[in-house]
Amino acid sequence: MSFSTNQIVSVYNHHVLPKLTFQNKAMAITAAITMSMTYFILKTLRPPKHLRHIPHISPLSLIRSLFIGEPYWNRAYRVYLPIIDHPQNHNGLYLEYGRAGWEIFICNPQIAKEMLLKQGTDNYTDTLFDKFIGGPNIGLLDGEAWRTQRKMANPAFHRAMPVRLFGELAVDMFQVMETMGDTINVSNMMEGWTLQVIGKAGFGFDFNAIKDPNSPWVRTYNICNKGIRNTFFFVFPAFDKKYLWMFPKRVYIHQEMDRFRHMLQDVIDHKRLSLEDKNYQNDALEENERDLLTLLIESEIRGEGVMTDQELMSNLRFFFVAGHDTTSSTLSFAIHYLAKHPEIQQKAREEAIRILGDEPVDILPVIGETKQMTYISQIMLETLRINGPLPSLVPRCASKDVELFGTFIPKGTPINVNLFSIHHSEKLWKDSHVFNPDRFENEESKTLMMAFGYGGRQCIGMNFSLVEQRVMLSMLLRKFTWSTPENSIHKDGVLTYGYLTLSPQDLDITFKKRY
């Protein structure tokens, strides 16, 4: 015979509690709280019975890691990789306790691809970042609703390739660099540049992020972006909603988020009105230079689908979160690795010069030229492998009992893919800790790369981001040589911060102008 927790609590409340004296009651309540906490801790320390056939990682080790602020790289090499590369862990699965309870992580590309292609795995819609990335958007919807939106957004992403905008904004950035001295905080600079790109290319909004990093909307955006990356509120979402009043600083961040949302709503309203006006002249005449919001509304006007204002707004916010830090961190990591490996930097420069010429002026690449940048593309792939911005994917949930490579996964189990481990496993990559773009000369290596996900839900902004990175790197390589300063905090390896997305901590780089 077994009892549910509700039955036990009910018996305790109705039969035990009334018979206790006041003093006894206090003791009994303390004992009950202690017992519940012990029960909770024991429950979190060990996976449930139906998942114990899969190797697990002790939650204490993760709590310690988060508590001491251990960089992701160190945690991965200390905790995940020994489990994954263990000869007896044949299929590379492990369990880890997270926000959704015990979650299965996949670290084998073959199984990951199988899972990502399977129908019948649901995305979590229960999200901490409700205000920023929540709502009906491509990233979080599932089933038919997701298909409808993706079908409408695919052509917009296909059309949008604003290479001229990328180049012009790179020139703006170079002008600001001229005023900054030789050693520059590259992570801040890339955050500004990519914010300006996504603002302009996403919805035609000028953050003025390159020329004035303290402009009011940059400040608001940075406050919101930093706010959603706070590990404490991510792990304990109740403090971000029910008990929010306990944290006045957090309340302020919520207010800034509300302001940001209103601003986006105004931009959508204004854009709709302009585009529906027959006399409206779009100043970006070439289609590929138009912003995503314009392209989405234009598709709607052509009758190719409809997105409500709420859907447009939710998607725009999602594009920010998905497209800003990811690209900015990848570029910063790439600049770091090129500083550490001057011979690779020089080889990449020679490619940029071969394609764009060596005249001492800024040259804006056109789309055809970006396609010829094979070595620079290998550098980007290797950067995404060795220090990609996303250590794992958006968690899924098994919507029925499934078997993955002989391992039984019961219905309802959260499943995720650990990209960092796939990209670092010695079973798959020789000298995985070494930055070596040559490994991507080999087509087979590309099939093991999962930095942009896989299958129907592969990153919709992949080409956009890759071209953006090629433009920035090729122009930077022609204009400057660069190196890591003697006192860099990254001298013995990249130090990162973040939980869901990884960014380099303050990355100072010393630049020398070539013209």
Q: Which residues are annotated as a binding site for heme?
A: 459
Q: Which of 47, 139, 192, 437 binds ligand HEM (CB under 6 A)?
A: 139
Question: Binding to ligand HEM by residue 461, rule CB under 6 A?
Answer: yes
DSSP SS3 for 417: strand
Residues 20 to 49 in contact with ligand HEM, rule: CB under 6 A: none
Q: Which of 394, 448, 489, 500 binds ligand HEM (CB under 6 A)?
A: 394
Q: Which of 390, 404, 415, 472 binds ligand HEM (CB under 6 A)?
A: 390
Question: Binding to ligand HEM by residue 465, rule CB under 6 A?
Answer: yes
204-464-362 Cα angle (round to 5): 80
Q: Which of 81, 112, 138, 190 binds ligand HEM (CB under 6 A)?
A: 138
Angle, helix 186-203 to helix 248-276, in steps of 10 degrees:
40
d(CA 435, CA 379): 9
d(CA 186, CA 179): 14
Residues contacting residue 427 through CB under 8 Å, at least 6 positions apart: 84, 85, 92
Comparing CB distances to ligand HEM, the nearer of 117 and 366 is: 117
Which of the 8 DSSP states describes residue 204? S
Question: How would you class 164 by CB atoms within 10 Å of its CB: exposed for 0-12, middle for 13-18, buried for 19 or more?
Answer: middle
> What binding mask, one character per residue, do residues 431-460 give for ligand HEM by CB under 6 A, x or -?
--------------------xxx---x-xx
Which stretches of 156-215 are assigned E, i.e. beta strand? 183-185
Q: Residue 199 CB, nearest distance to ligand HEM (Å)?
A: 11
Number of residues located near ligand HEM, criterion CB under 6 A: 24
Question: Binding to ligand HEM by residue 121, rule CB under 6 A?
Answer: no
Comparing CB distances to ligand HEM, the nearer of 225 and 488 is: 225
**Cα-based distances in Å from 350 to 298, 346, 357:** 41, 6, 10
Element containing residue 13 per DSSP (H, E) = none
d(CA 44, CA 97): 7
> What binding mask, one character per residue, do residues 282-321 give for ligand HEM by CB under 6 A, x or -?
------------------------------------xx--
- Half-sphere exposure (Cβ direction) of 142: Cα atoms closer than 13 Å: 15
Question: Binding to ligand HEM by residue 111, rule CB under 6 A?
Answer: no
Within its chain, how far is the Cα of 399 from the centroid? 24
Comparing CB distances to ligand HEM, the nearer of 330 and 332 is: 330
Q: Residue 142 CB, nearest distance to ligand HEM (Å)?
A: 9
Angle, helix 248-276 to helix 216-228, in steps of 10 degrees:
120
Residues 326 to 365 in contact with ligand HEM, rule: CB under 6 A: 326-327, 330
Q: Residue 404 CB, nearest distance to ligand HEM (Å)?
A: 16
Amino acid identity for residue 297 in this structure: I
Beta bridge partners of 415: 104, 396
Comparing CB distances to ligand HEM, the nearer of 182 and 304 is: 304
d(CA 164, CA 167): 5
Q: Please choose, out of 8-16, 80-88, 389-397, 502-510, the segment that lies near ligand HEM by the rule CB under 6 A.
A: 389-397
Q: Residue 451 CB, nearest distance to ligand HEM (Å)?
A: 5
Q: What is the dihedral sign for C-alpha 157, 162, 165, 169? A: positive
Other CB atoms closer than 10 Å to residue 471's CB: what's the count? 27
Question: Binding to ligand HEM by residue 150, rule CB under 6 A?
Answer: yes
Q: Please choose, out of 57-65, 101-109, 228-236, 324-332, the segment that lies near ligand HEM by the rule CB under 6 A.
A: 324-332
d(CA 248, CA 260): 19
Q: Residue 20 CB, nearest distance to ligand HEM (Å)?
A: 51
Comparing CB distances to ligand HEM, the nearer of 344 and 459 is: 459
Comparing CB distances to ligand HEM, the nearer of 227 and 389 is: 389
Q: What is the dihedral sign for C-alpha 457, 292, 177, 228? A: negative
Question: Binding to ligand HEM by residue 100, rule CB under 6 A?
Answer: no
Comparing CB distances to ligand HEM, the nearer of 204 and 461 is: 461
Q: Residue 123 CB, nearest distance to ligand HEM (Å)?
A: 7
Q: Residue 229 CB, nearest distance to ligand HEM (Å)?
A: 16
Comparing CB distances to ligand HEM, the nearer of 97 and 464 is: 464
Q: Residue 137 CB, nearest distance to ligand HEM (Å)?
A: 7
- Known binding site: residues? 459
Q: Residue 420 CB, nearest distance to ligand HEM (Å)?
A: 12
Phi, psi of 453 (to 5 degrees): 80, -160
Question: Binding to ligand HEM by residue 159, rule CB under 6 A?
Answer: no
- The strand order across the sheet containing 508-513 reads 183-185, 508-513, 480-483
Question: Binding to ligand HEM by residue 322, rule CB under 6 A?
Answer: yes
Question: Binding to ligand HEM by residue 225, rule CB under 6 A?
Answer: no
Q: Which of 109, 192, 323, 414 binds ligand HEM (CB under 6 A)?
A: 323
Exposure class string for 169-198: b at 16+ Cβ within 10 A, else e: bbebbbebbeeeeeebebbebbbbbbbbbb
Binding site for ligand HEM (CB under 6 A): 138-139, 150, 318-319, 322-323, 326-327, 330, 388-390, 393-394, 451-453, 457, 459-461, 464-465
